[in-house]
Amino acid sequence: MSKRTKADPISVGIIMDGNRRWAKAHNLASKEGHSAGRTKAKEIARHAFSHGVGTLTLYAFSTENWNRSVTEVSYLMQLFSGALTQELEELLKEGIAVRFIGDFKRLPKKLRLSMESLEQRSAATTTGNTLVIALSYGGRAEILAATNHLLATGKKIVNEKDFSNALWSRGIQDPDIIIRTGGEKRLSNFLTWQSVYSELFFTDSFWPEFSNKEFDAILQDFTTRIRRRGK
């Protein structure tokens, strides 16, 4: 069994849920909730990296989210494009590397090119901190993609290392913690392979109102948990 010390860099995944319900509760349009969620993402990322988090993975848009209305999906794509040129560029200048994971085929070409550019420039970062954006992402889709990739290379028998190296998230630390805001208590196809030993935290706070104080309380709770990993 192992117990984390505050000196250990950790990996945190966040399911940023509740933007639309937060907007409704404040008599605002859904897009206002998404905009507030974008602002919150930058705030929490900066706070997390200054408090012992080495890797932060944000679930921004799932494979299932493509089933939302054309108007909402179009607005979200615009929001992501804006985040690339503003918030993510700011974080990159602060030495934070940026990675993207997901099935990008359905994303607008201009957005994909901007993502590739940001990732390439991230190679020069030196802080060791990495922000991972799960965009058009689904855990099952990732597993199927890895399986088909391995079959295409002629593999007939694979081990866990082979499989992990075929995932979109290859090279990214598995999450020690997964947080879901918004009151729901499920993982909703997020990091299905990688989350098998994650410590799970659920909060009723909608994502735009999730606070640094609440994040700190989760990190503190995590230090008390004993992780046996089957031993």
Domain of 91: which CATH number?
A: 3.40.1180.10
The domain of 186 spans 7-222
Residues marked as catalytic: 17, 65
The reply to whether 68 falls in a domain is: yes
Q: Is residue 48 part of a domain?
A: yes
* pTM for this predicted structure: 0.94
Is the residue at 227 inside a domain?
no
Q: 231 lies in a domain?
A: no
State CA 123 to chain mean position distance.
Answer: 19
> Is residue 136 in some structural domain?
yes
pLDDT of residue 8: 66
Question: What is d(CA 190, CA 211) in angstroms, rounded to the nearest whole number?
Answer: 22
Domain membership of residue 1 (yes or no) is no
| pLDDT tens for the chain, residues 1 to 231 | 444 444 467 999 999 999 999 999 999 999 999 999 999 999 999 999 999 999 999 999 999 999 999 999 999 999 999 999 999 999 999 999 999 999 999 999 999 999 999 999 998 887 899 999 999 999 999 999 999 999 999 999 999 999 999 999 999 999 999 999 999 999 999 999 999 999 999 999 999 999 999 999 999 999 998 787 777
Give the total number of structural domains in the chain. Answer: 1
User: Considering the domain boundaries, does residue 121 fall inside one?
Assistant: yes
What pLDDT score was predicted for residue 4? 45
| pLDDT for position 88 | 95
Is 62 part of any domain? yes
| 104 contacts 66 by C-beta, under 8 angstroms | no
Confidence (pLDDT) at 2? 44
Cβ count near 15 (within 10 Å): 24
